[in-house]
């Protein structure tokens, strides 16, 4: 009986090790949108899960035969209040590309992992695609725009920008603005909630022109060598002051009651006339 039990445990151990090895070494299938591939495996956006996914989906180094290096990365917030835009300026160093790569079609992929309490409107972003500002864009995660911040999960925006490889042979700048909106924030003492943005994830994907999505190579742009300006951008979002909650509730109730009485009186008056 003991021998049989040991054999069962040994078989279970081998099966577990094989499963772990497959999960580590097996390449992750990549869709047109990288974040779609992420959400095929995970239901919620966590930074640790995303980093693990990226390490498997994007092998270290470059499979394209060249490496792009960042010179500067600058992040700023534009606007005031609950509707603002995150501006990103990316500067590249001069590149020496192989001649065969100049006939490729390339696109930059920028992934914004939004902090909790902030969302992007998918319909608004599609208008930017129609205007030619982005070549493609998609929002993943919690896209319910009406949920308050304490009931919603994080979301991510993946932006695609088509780029001619020929321009990468000279110092190149790419600037983009992503419109964002604040969710309803919980009450607090200061009247403001604070959310912080990290640096975006940036990749390059290249392939034969017209077939970028079918046969391609891609690699992740590293931010370590770049001059970072505003890598941790902070947004102070207006919210209700907790001490005013009772006063606002009472005033709202009285206003609603008076409006209802006014409607009833007006209905009775005009029905008798």
User: 47 Cβ partners below 8 Å, 6+ apart?
Assistant: 113
pLDDT at 272 over 60: yes
- For the stretch 121-172, pLDDT in tens is 999 999 999 999 999 999 999 888 888 888 889 999 999 998 877 777 777 7
CA distances from 142 to 50, 117, 118, 179 (A): 16, 11, 10, 17
* Token duo for residue 46: 């966590």
Is there a contact between 177 and 200 (Cβ–Cβ < 8 Å)? no
pLDDT at 195 over 60: yes
Burial code (b: 16+ CB inside 10 Å, e: under 16) for 28-67 equals: bebeebbbebbbeeeeebeeeebebbbeebbeeebebebe
pLDDT at 21 over 70: no
DSSP for residue 188? B
User: 70 Cβ partners below 8 Å, 6+ apart?
Assistant: 90, 91, 92, 93, 202, 221, 222, 223, 225, 226
pLDDT at 58 over 60: yes
pLDDT value at position 170?
73
Mean pLDDT, range 231-256, rounded to an integer: 81
Closest by CA to 57, choosing from 75, 40, 77, 81, is 40
pLDDT at 50 over 90: yes
By DSSP bridging, strand 136-141 and strand 118-119 are: unpaired
The H-or-E segment that residue 177 falls in is strand 172-182
Domain boundaries, the chain: 34-245
200 burial (CB, 10 Å; 0-12 / 13-18 / 19+) is buried
**3-state class (DSSP) for residue 157:** strand
**3-state class (DSSP) for residue 255:** helix
Give me the DSSP letters along 198-236: -PPEEEEEEEETT-TTTSEEEEEEP-TTSEEESSSEEEE
Please tell me which of 51-65, 100-114, 142-156, 220-234 the model is most confident about, judged by mean pLDDT: 142-156
What mean pLDDT is reported for the chain?
Answer: 78
């Amino acid at each position: 009986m003991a021998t049989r039990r040991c054999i069962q445990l040994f078989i279970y151990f081998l099966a577990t090790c094989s499963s772990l090895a497959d999960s580590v070494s097996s390449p992750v299938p990549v869709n047109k949108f990288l974040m779609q591939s992420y959400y095929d495996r995970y239901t919620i956006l966590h930074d640790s899960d995303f980093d693990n996914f990226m390490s498997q989906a994007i092998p270290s180094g470059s499979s394209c035969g060249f490496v792009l290096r960042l010179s500067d990365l600058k992040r700023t917030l534009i606007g005031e209040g609950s509707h603002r835009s995150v501006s990103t300026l990316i500067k590249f160093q001069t590149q020496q590309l192989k001649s065969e790569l100049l006939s490729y079609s390339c696109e930059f992929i920028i992934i914004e992992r939004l902090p909790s309490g902030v969302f992007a409107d998918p319909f608004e972003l599609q208008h930017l695609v129609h205007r030619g500002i982005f070549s493609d864009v998609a929002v993943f995660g919690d896209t319910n725009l009406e949920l308050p911040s304490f009931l919603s999960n994080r979301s991510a925006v993946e932006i695609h920008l088509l780029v001619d490889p020929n321009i990468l042979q000279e110092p190149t700048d790419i600037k983009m603005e992503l419109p964002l909106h604040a969710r309803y924030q919980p009450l607090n003492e200061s009247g403001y909630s604070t959310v912080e943005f990290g640096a975006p994830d940036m990749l390059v994907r290249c392939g034969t022109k017209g077939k970028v999505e079918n046969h391609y190579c891609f690699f992740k742009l590293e931010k370590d060598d770049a001059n970072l300006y505003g890598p941790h951008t902070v947004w102070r979002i207006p919210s209700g002051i907790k001490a005013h909650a009772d006063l606002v509730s009472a005033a709202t109730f009285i206003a609603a009651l008076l409006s209802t009485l006014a409607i009833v009186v007006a209905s009775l008056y005009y029905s008798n006339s």
